[in-house]
């Protein structure tokens, strides 16, 4: 493997990591503030993608679709929060797992009902098609955009939490849920807001990634599991942790996919090596997670809890 | 350092613990002797709870050693120390609310009446176990309440039960973290008498804010300020120790009359 | 993550709850008998399916309900049990050796111990690491391990990979004909009763008392001189073994095993069934399994959108029927 | 026995009867109607039902959704066979579900006709007299493409497929006709990001790409490949280029050549009639899945004219003769009751509007029979 290729694969790993971060950031934010495990986060990701695809198809503008996707997911988020999630904050994690598991079923089938069961068309806007030369390698513009957006989101969240009044309240919420009452904040409004933000992030991720991958029912679930791996590695509730965790997972997974098969070719015939290697590669991130939790049971950057 | 010839049951030597810059436990050395109640006093934030946590084993010291009956237990877990005979009661009650009084005590008896890895015999029909538990319950005078869920007990009764749970371990010593806290006059009276009656078989390390109780019960007192032992000695000595007065002047939890009247 | 319901403090509702339990047992055993008389063999197999899934949940309930350990990875043990049975059946049918050295058998009584043993070893490994974590982390790390095993099963090309492994001939039981639906049901029913009885015994024992305390108040347990970690670890392993037992039966019932038996969806379903029936209630899993499987089956009959309605029903239960179905029927909601 | 009562009501509720009659033939259809990949099941169902309606036949079809879960499919099979006493079972889309259901079903004496999945086991060792595959053996379209690309003068294809049995079947099938490939990758099942794989392809000196990535995986790969700046010609089986997938991929797919046993512009009367009727009824262009459902139904109908399913041997013989007008033109069964058929090459071309479409460009290989027939004892 040439140096250029190695570098490109590393970049791919980072880029994949950023995709995961877009998804994980909302998840970890929601957990950090409300202490809620939201299995339905993947479904919000899916809703975002479908709305984006629908609006893009309607208006012909991907950018409108992107906005619509984020807003649509946020709106769905608010609905879900007010109708269901709200009643779960004071329940144990078990009830939360169960209720949000039920939400997955409802949202998936609901989406199929509204938009039909066939995958929807959603493509990268033509300006962003094609690739650019980055020194030794050629890299797709759109993927660079995703990296940029990811960085912006990370920055935005950092500012929101550290600079704004709401952020101050959010941190208060993280530190202790009673104190926030003392701050005279309407807690349920704050929670709804935070949930909406998380949902919007999921929607944004769904729209951006949907354009690159595919928009279909059930697209959220594999991503959800990965996002959970990410935030658990990073330390649940910590945005910083989510970022680092996402990068770790992205890079480990990508390099594993690339390197393991070629590694096994040293002592196996190619197709067997390809098969065994990729099998091992698919287990790799879970192995990573297990190891990290074995050493640091609360993840790399435990949020104050 | 000891001014008594009775042999020691627990010894703490040069214990250190710090959180970042804060020295919570700073070169603490003390000793608990058979047949005595040793009170550990000090203003809020003096590091009493940190010290207790290290003695109980829920917190590992940075340096120093803890001996129980001349055996080094510094590295043992909470459970292991309990089995070795270190009974503990908590500042904030740590009972299993939905379970009955007897159930709460039986858990403690379990550890000393055999292994907990018995999967067959029903505890209800485990005579030895129940007897052991009831003995402890009786000592704290709750026998008539044995089947009542803890959630229905009064605050005072819960305190007594805490002690009962500790006693069920047949401990070599008791570690009591503010047993009097929030007790009414009657309650603390009853508990004081209980401890009085206990101390002969079971020496007690007592952490207490209620100075009446301290001076009534304690044979020996150590004063902890900013993680350091600033004074140590018999109740009388401490009562007159200027350092202690200074440490406590204005400190709300010790009212001045205690110090004047003599 | 623990809720303080233990059948111990339900005394006033005990009698009523045990009535409900009794009714459930009678119903579940009568259904297939009557079905056989009416020559409706389908309902016999459906009952076996219910029983087996209930048993998987009984296993999880031991860790989750009585020990407060929310394992999101129990499908792994379910699948392990299934694969042991499947691989044994495969080799004994082909007349080949496992890994080319171990002779296979089609005797359930020989297969089950192996399944339990394998599950125990894996559960021990997973538990030793996972139990160092708590709360959400425990939920997620168990999920991670299950996913690992899931992908491993997909890569098992010798045993069909994602296509799974079909069991041409159901493994046989010492007496009777395991291919006879009613007789196979009876085997499953016996297994369920056994696992319920063991659970009951263990919960009542010294170990159970310690486990209950580990769930209600870990500090109390430690100060009482008992290591919560080791208590939990043992409970986790036992729970995994029960679920694996169910998995072995499931493989024989369906006549095949495949990775979907280990998918995280399945883990979710087992949790759903436990909660649906009532966490920490001995017969909860049975009520849960009956409700879940019947919903799955008959909603599917009414509409293609059955999963939507399944979701709504589950949501309703979490939000409004705390204490699960047993709680509902026995009239005692669980104390949050 | 409330359960019983309910269930009777249920089966009554969902029965789709074309013509009321005394004892219509009962057909059970287990297919994927919900969740990911459900458009395949929906097309099979629609194609099948279209045929039964056009023939105005005396059938009772019970349709159930398996949600793509093997154990649900299995338990539905039990229900349809044991409770509803269907004579024929069909509909399953995925190989792993087929493997879960088919063996026990056919051993139990019920006929199973596969409208889509064709795992190699069922064509070879585990073949059965009651099992008929009306679609293709899993390897077929890949073998055909291997054959075609070789003939097309390509030397160094880079080939990829997901790491699961159908995936390995695909690459084996391809290589059995083409020979060794320049590069070979097994991707993770369900993987949606192919940056790493595309980079590897770019780094290799491949002259073409062959991939088998069904459903969303294929959509994702095509889009990402299109914007990667790579310009190698792309080949694949029809699965990643049916009319619905193309609708999702868009123009990124233009120029791709794909193999299929059927094309909607295939020139024969039966096909013309089918496409016209399908468009009229469902207002969309049928996919190969729809054509397979349609053929399956017509095969059953043709056999029913000769014998009742209750007379197993006669009915089996009738099925085997495959005496019906297939929308693929020539169609007959090999000894293992899998099709012997032409495999065509289609090219993706710009269609009307935003959505590209397939255009028949030639024949890849004629009268292809699967490679496992020799292993089948029939």
Residue A178 has pLDDT above 80, yes or no: no
CA distance C73 to C125: 13
Taking CB atoms and an 8 Å cut-off, how many pairs form between chains A and D?
147
Residue B116 has pLDDT above 80, yes or no: yes
C333 vs A142 pLDDT, higher one: A142
Residue C6 has pLDDT above 60, yes or no: no
Mean model confidence pLDDT for chain B:
84
Q: Is A286 within 8 Å of C148 when comparing Cβ atoms?
A: yes
Give pLDDT tens digits for B137-167: 998 888 999 999 999 988 888 888 988 999 9
**With bands split at pLDDT 50, 70 and 90, how would you rate the model's confidence at B252?**
very low
| Nearest of B155, B147, B151 to residue B100 by alpha carbon | B147
Average pLDDT of span B187-202: 84
Strands D332-333 and D339-349: antiparallel
Residue A66 has pLDDT above 60, yes or no: yes
Q: For the beta carbon of residue D363, count every other beta carbon within 10 angstroms.
A: 13
In this prediction the ipTM stands at: 0.88
Is the residue at A184 inside a domain? yes
A217 vs D11 pLDDT, higher one: A217
> What domain range is A195 assigned to?
3-220
Residues D227 and D281 in one domain: no
Per-residue model confidence (pLDDT) at position D146: 95
Lowest mean pLDDT among A116-125, B46-55, C97-106, C117-126: C97-106
- Contact D233/D206 with Cβ under 8 angstroms? no
Structure tokens at C72: 């999101």
CA distance D344 to D346: 7
Is the residue at A254 inside a domain? no
Structure tokens at C87: 């691989």
* Bridge partners of residue B40, in order along the sequence: B207, B222
Residues of A in contact with C271 (CB under 8 A): 94, 97-98, 101
CATH 3.40.50.300 region(s) of chain B?
A: 1-85+172-262
Burial D19-43 (b: 16+ CB within 10 A, else e): eeeeebbbbbbbbbbbbbbbbbbbb
Structure tokens at B92: 């904030």
Is the residue at A257 inside a domain? no
Average pLDDT of span B62-90: 91
CA distance D378 to D375: 9
Per-residue model confidence (pLDDT) at position B256: 39
Of D71, D81, D83, the CB nearest to C254: D71
Give pLDDT tens digits for D85-110: 999 999 999 999 999 999 999 999 99
Give the minimum alpha-carbon distance from A163 to chain C in angstroms, rounded to a whole number: 29
Residue C284 has pLDDT above 80, yes or no: yes
Does A228 contact chain C (CB < 8 Å)? yes
Per-residue model confidence (pLDDT) at position D11: 42
Residue A184 has pLDDT above 70, yes or no: no
Q: In Å, what is the CA distance from A11 to each residue of A130, A137, C310?
A: 17, 10, 43
Task: State which H helix or E strand residue D277 sits in.
Answer: helix D269-282
Q: What is the CATH number of the domain that holds D247?
A: 3.40.50.2300
Average pLDDT of span B49-77: 91
Q: Is B99 within 8 Å of C219 when comparing Cβ atoms?
A: no
Which A residues in the span 39-58 are in contact with D, Cβ-Cβ below 8 Å? Answer: 57
Is the residue at A280 inside a domain? no
CA distance D34 to D40: 10
- Contact B208/B178 with Cβ under 8 angstroms? yes
Enumerate residues 6+ apart whose C-beta is below 8 A from C145.
A286, A290, C73, C76, C126, C129, C130
Phi and psi at residue C267, to the nearest 5°: -55, -45
Per-residue model confidence (pLDDT) at position A180: 58
Of A214, A257, A274, the CB nearest to D192: A214
Average pLDDT of span C54-82: 96
Residues D61 and D126 in one domain: yes
The number of C-alpha atoms within 13 Å of D326 and in the hemisphere containing its C-beta is 22
CA-based nearest residue in chain A for residue D221: A213
A56 vs A5 pLDDT, higher one: A56
Structure tokens at D173: 């099938």
Average pLDDT of span D173-188: 92
Phi and psi at residue C295, to the nearest 5°: -55, -55
Per-residue model confidence (pLDDT) at position A262: 82
Look up tokens 């079972």; give the residue.
D89
Residues of C in contact with A102 (CB under 8 A): 272, 310-312, 314-315, 318
- Contact B235/B259 with Cβ under 8 angstroms? no
Look up tokens 């099948």; give the residue.
D48
Give pLDDT tens digits for D20-53: 445 789 999 999 998 878 899 999 999 999 999 9
Strands B204-207 and B37-41: parallel
Give the minimum alpha-carbon distance from D175 to chain C in angstroms, rounded to a whole number: 19
Q: Is A232 within 8 Å of C144 when comparing Cβ atoms?
A: yes
- Contact A10/A217 with Cβ under 8 angstroms? no
Give the minimum alpha-carbon distance from B133 to chain C in angstroms, rounded to a whole number: 12
Mean model confidence pLDDT for chain D:
90
Residues D79 and D212 in one domain: no
Average pLDDT of span C43-62: 96
- Contact A246/A13 with Cβ under 8 angstroms? no
User: Helices then strands (H, E): number in chain C?
Assistant: 13, 4
Residue B245 has pLDDT above 90, yes or no: no
Residue C268 has pLDDT above 50, yes or no: yes
**With bands split at pLDDT 50, 70 and 90, how would you rate the model's confidence at A192?**
very high
- Contact C293/C53 with Cβ under 8 angstroms? yes
Is the residue at A161 inside a domain? yes
Q: Is A140 within 8 Å of D224 when comparing Cβ atoms?
A: yes
Residues of D in contact with C296 (CB under 8 A): 72
> Domains in chain D: how many in total?
2
Per-residue model confidence (pLDDT) at position D2: 39
Which A residues in the span 8-47 are in contact with C, Cβ-Cβ below 8 Å? Answer: 31, 37, 39
Per-residue model confidence (pLDDT) at position B112: 82
Q: In Å, what is the CA distance from D95 to each residue of C92, C134, D151, D158?
A: 24, 40, 30, 25
Residues of C in contact with A106 (CB under 8 A): 308, 311-312, 315
Residues of D in contact with C166 (CB under 8 A): 99-100, 103-104, 126
CA distance B101 to B105: 6
Residue D15 has pLDDT above 70, yes or no: no
Residue B92 has pLDDT above 80, yes or no: no
Average pLDDT of span D327-334: 92
Residues D352 and D370 in one domain: yes
| Nearest of D146, D157, D179, D181 to residue D233 by alpha carbon | D157
Q: Is C6 within 8 Å of B99 when comparing Cβ atoms?
A: yes
**With bands split at pLDDT 50, 70 and 90, how would you rate the model's confidence at C3?**
very low
Share of chain B above pLDDT 70, in %: 91
Residues D110 and D226 in one domain: no
**With bands split at pLDDT 50, 70 and 90, how would you rate the model's confidence at D10?**
very low
CATH of domain B1-85+172-262: 3.40.50.300
CA distance B79 to C224: 7
Is the residue at A237 inside a domain? no
Give the minimum alpha-carbon distance from B95 to chain C in angstroms, rounded to a whole number: 6
Q: Is B98 within 8 Å of C208 when comparing Cβ atoms?
A: no
> What domain range is D243 assigned to?
140-263+343-374
CA angle B214–B220–B221, rounded 5-degree value: 60
Residue C173 has pLDDT above 80, yes or no: yes
Give the minimum alpha-carbon distance from C284 to chain D in angstroms, rounded to a whole number: 20
CA angle D246–D249–D254, rounded 5-degree value: 70
Is the residue at A242 inside a domain? no
Residue B129 has pLDDT above 80, yes or no: yes
Enumerate residues 6+ apart whose C-beta is below 8 A from B21.
none
The number of C-alpha atoms within 13 Å of D331 and in the hemisphere containing its C-beta is 29
Taking CB atoms and an 8 Å cut-off, how many pairs form between chains C and D?
115
> Domains in chain A: how many in total?
1
Q: In Å, what is the CA distance from C34 to each residue of B27, C26, C44, C144, C297?
A: 78, 12, 9, 43, 19
Is the residue at A29 inside a domain? yes
CA-based nearest residue in chain A for residue D245: A119
C319 vs A175 pLDDT, higher one: C319
Does D168 contact chain C (CB < 8 Å)? yes
Q: Is C155 within 8 Å of A282 when comparing Cβ atoms?
A: yes
D209: three-class secondary structure by DSSP:
strand
Which C residues in the span 11-70 are in contact with D, Cβ-Cβ below 8 Å? Answer: 31, 34-35, 38, 40-43, 45-46, 49
**With bands split at pLDDT 50, 70 and 90, how would you rate the model's confidence at B6?**
low
State the angle between helix axes of A239-264 and A3-34 in degrees (0 to 180), rounded to the nearest 10: 140
Indicate contact of B with A: 3+ CB pairs under 8 A. Answer: no
Chain D contact probe: residue of A113, A129, A216 with most D CBs at under 10 A: A216
Residues of C in contact with B123 (CB under 8 A): 204-206, 208-209
Residues D361 and D335 in one domain: no
Of C40, C250, C302, the CB nearest to D83: C40
Residues D357 and D211 in one domain: yes
């Amino acid at each position: 493997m040439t140096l250029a290729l190695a570098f490109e694969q590393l970049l791919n790993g980072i880029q994949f990591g950023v995709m995961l971060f877009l998804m994980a950031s909302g998840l970890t934010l929601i957990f950090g503030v409300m202490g809620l495990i939201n299995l339905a986060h993947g479904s919000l990701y899916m809703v975002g993608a479908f709305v984006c695809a629908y609006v893009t198809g309607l208006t012909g503008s991907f950018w409108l679709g992107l906005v619509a996707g984020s807003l649509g997911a946020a709106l769905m988020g608010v609905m879900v929060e007010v109708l269901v999630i709200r009643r779960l904050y004071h329940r144990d994690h078990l009830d939360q797992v169960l209720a949000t598991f039920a939400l997955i079923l409802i949202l998936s089938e609901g989406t199929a009902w509204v938009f039909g069961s066939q995958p929807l068309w959603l493509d990268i806007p033509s300006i962003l098609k094609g690739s650019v030369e980055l020194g030794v390698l050629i890299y797709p513009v759109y993927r660079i955009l995703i990296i940029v957006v990811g960085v912006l989101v990370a920055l935005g969240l950092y500012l929101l939490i550290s600079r704004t009044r709401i952020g101050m309240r959010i941190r208060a919420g993280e530190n202790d849920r009673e104190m926030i009452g003392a701050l005279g904040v309407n807690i349920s409004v704050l929670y709804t807001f935070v949930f909406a933000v998380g949902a919007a992030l999921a929607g944004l991720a769904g729209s951006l990634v949907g354009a690159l991958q595919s928009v279909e029912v059930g697209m959220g679930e594999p991503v959800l599991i990965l996002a959970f791996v990410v935030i658990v590695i990073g330390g649940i509730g910590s945005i910083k942790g989510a970022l680092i965790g996402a990068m770790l997972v992205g890079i480990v997974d990508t390099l594993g996919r690339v390197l393991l098969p070629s590694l096994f070719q040293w002592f196996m015939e190619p197709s067997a090596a390809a098969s065994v290697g990729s099998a091992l590669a698919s287990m790799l991130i879970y192995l990573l997670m297990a190891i990290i939790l074995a050493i640091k049971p609360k993840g790399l950057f435990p949020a104050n809890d | 350092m000891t001014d008594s010839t009775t042999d020691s049951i627990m010894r703490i030597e040069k214990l250190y613990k710090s959180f970042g810059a804060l020295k919570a436990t700073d070169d603490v050395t003390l000793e608990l002797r058979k047949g005595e109640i040793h009170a550990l006093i000090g203003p809020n934030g003096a590091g009493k709870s940190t010290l207790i946590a290290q003695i109980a084993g829920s917190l590992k010291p940075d340096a120093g050693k803890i001996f129980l009956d001349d055996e080094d237990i510094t590295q043992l877990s909470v459970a292991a120390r309990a089995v070795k005979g270190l009974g503990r009661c908590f500042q904030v009650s740590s009972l299993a609310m939905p379970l009955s009084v007897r159930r709460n005590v039986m858990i403690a008896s379990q550890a000393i009446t055999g292994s907990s890895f018995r999967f067959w015999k029903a505890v209800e029909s485990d005579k030895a176990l129940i007897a052991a538990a009831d003995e402890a319950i009786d000592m704290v005078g709750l026998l008539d309440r044995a089947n009542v869920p803890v959630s229905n007990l009064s605050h005072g009764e819960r305190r007594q039960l805490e002690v009962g749970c500790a006693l069920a371990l047949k401990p070599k010593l008791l570690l009591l973290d503010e047993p009097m806290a929030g007790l009414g006059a009657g309650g603390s009276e009853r508990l004081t008498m209980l401890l009085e009656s206990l101390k002969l078989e079971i020496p007690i390390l007592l952490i207490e804010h209620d100075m009446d109780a301290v001076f009534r019960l304690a044979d020996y007192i150590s004063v902890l300020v900013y993680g350091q032992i600033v004074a140590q000695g018999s109740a009388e000595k401490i009562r007159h120790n200027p350092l202690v007065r200074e440490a406590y002047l204005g400190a709300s939890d010790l009212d001045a009359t205690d110090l004047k009247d003599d | 993550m623990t809720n303080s319901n233990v059948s111990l403090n339900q005394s006033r509702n005990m009698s009523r709850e045990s009535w409900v339990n009794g009714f459930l047992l009678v119903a579940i055993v009568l259904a297939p008998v009557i079905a056989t008389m009416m020559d409706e063999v389908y309902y016999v197999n459906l009952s076996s399916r219910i029983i087996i899934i209930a048993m998987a949940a009984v296993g999880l309930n031991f860790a989750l309900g009585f020990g407060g350990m929310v394992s999101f990875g129990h499908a792994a043990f379910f699948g392990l049990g299934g694969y042991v049975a499947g691989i044994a059946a495969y080799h004994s049918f082909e007349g080949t050796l496992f890994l080319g050295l171990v002779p296979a058998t089609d005797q359930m009584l020989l297969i089950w111990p192996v399944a339990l043993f394998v599950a125990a070893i894996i559960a021990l490994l997973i538990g030793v690491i996972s139990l160092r974590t708590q709360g959400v982390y425990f939920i997620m790390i168990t999920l991670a391990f299950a996913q690992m095993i899931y992908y491993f099963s997909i890569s098992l090309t010798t045993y069909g990979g994602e296509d799974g492994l079909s069991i041409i001939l159901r493994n046989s039981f010492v007496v009777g004909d395991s291919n006879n639906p009613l007789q196979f049901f009876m085997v499953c029913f016996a297994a369920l009763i056994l696992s319920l009885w063991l659970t009951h015994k263990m919960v009542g024992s010294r170990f159970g008392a310690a486990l209950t305390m580990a769930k209600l108040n870990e500090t109390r347990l430690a100060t009482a001189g008992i290591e919560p970690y080791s208590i939990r670890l043992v409970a986790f392993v036992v729970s995994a073994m029960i679920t694996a037992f169910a998995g072995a039966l499931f493989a024989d019932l369906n006549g095949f095993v495949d990775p979907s038996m280990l998918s995280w969806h399945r883990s979710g379903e087992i949790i759903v069934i436990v909660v649906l029936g009532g966490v920490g209630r001995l017969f909860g899993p049975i009520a849960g399994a009956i409700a879940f499987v019947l919903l799955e089956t008959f909603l599917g009959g009414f509409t293609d959108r059955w999963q939507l309605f399944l979701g709504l029903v589950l949501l309703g239960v979490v939000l409004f029927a705390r204490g699960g179905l047993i709680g509902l029927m026995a009239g005692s909601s669980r104390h949050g | 026995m409330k359960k019983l009562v309910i269930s009777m009501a249920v089966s009554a509720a969902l029965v789709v009867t074309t013509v009321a009659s005394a004892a219509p033939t009962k057909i059970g259809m287990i297919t994927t109607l919900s969740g990911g990949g459900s458009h395949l099941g929906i097309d099979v169902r629609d194609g099948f039902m279209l045929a039964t309606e056009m023939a105005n036949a005396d059938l009772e079809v019970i349709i159930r959704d398996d949600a793509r879960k093997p154990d649900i499919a299995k338990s539905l099979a039990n229900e349809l066979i044991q409770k509803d006493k269907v004579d024929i079972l069909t509909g399953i889309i995925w190989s792993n579900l087929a493997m879960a259901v088919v063996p026990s079903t056919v051993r139990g004496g019920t006929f199973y006709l596969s409208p889509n999945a064709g795992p190699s086991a069922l064509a070879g060792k585990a073949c059965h007299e009651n099992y008929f595959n009306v679609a293709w053996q899993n390897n077929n379209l890949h073998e055909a493409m291997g054959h075609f690309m070789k003939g097309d003068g390509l030397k160094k294809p880079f080939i990829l497929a997901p790491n699961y049995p159908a995936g390995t079947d695909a690459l084996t099938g391809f290589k059995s006709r083409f020979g060794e490939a320049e590069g070979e990758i097994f991707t993770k099942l369900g993987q949606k990001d192919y940056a790493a794989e595309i980079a590897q392809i770019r780094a290799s000196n491949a002259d073409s790409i062959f991939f088998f990535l069904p459903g969303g995986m294929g959509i994702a790969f095509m889009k990402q490949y299109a914007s990667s700046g790579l310009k190698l010609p792309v080949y694949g089986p029809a699965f990643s280029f049916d009319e619905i997938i193309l609708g999702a991929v868009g123009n990124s797919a233009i120029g791709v050549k794909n193999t299929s046993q059927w094309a909607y512009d295939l020139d024969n009367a039966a096909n013309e009639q089918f496409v016209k009727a399908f468009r009229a009824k469902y207002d969309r262009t049928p996919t190969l899945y729809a054509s397979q459902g349609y053929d399956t139904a017509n095969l059953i109908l043709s056999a029913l004219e000769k014998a009742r399913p209750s007379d197993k041997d006669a009915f089996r013989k009738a099925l085997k003769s495959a005496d019906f007008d297939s929308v693929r033109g020539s169609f007959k069964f090999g000894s293992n009751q899998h099709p012997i058929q032409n495999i065509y090459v289609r090219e993706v071309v710009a269609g009307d509007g935003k959505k590209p479409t397939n255009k028949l460009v030639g024949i890849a290989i004629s009268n292809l029979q699967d490679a496992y027939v020799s292993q089948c004892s029939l």
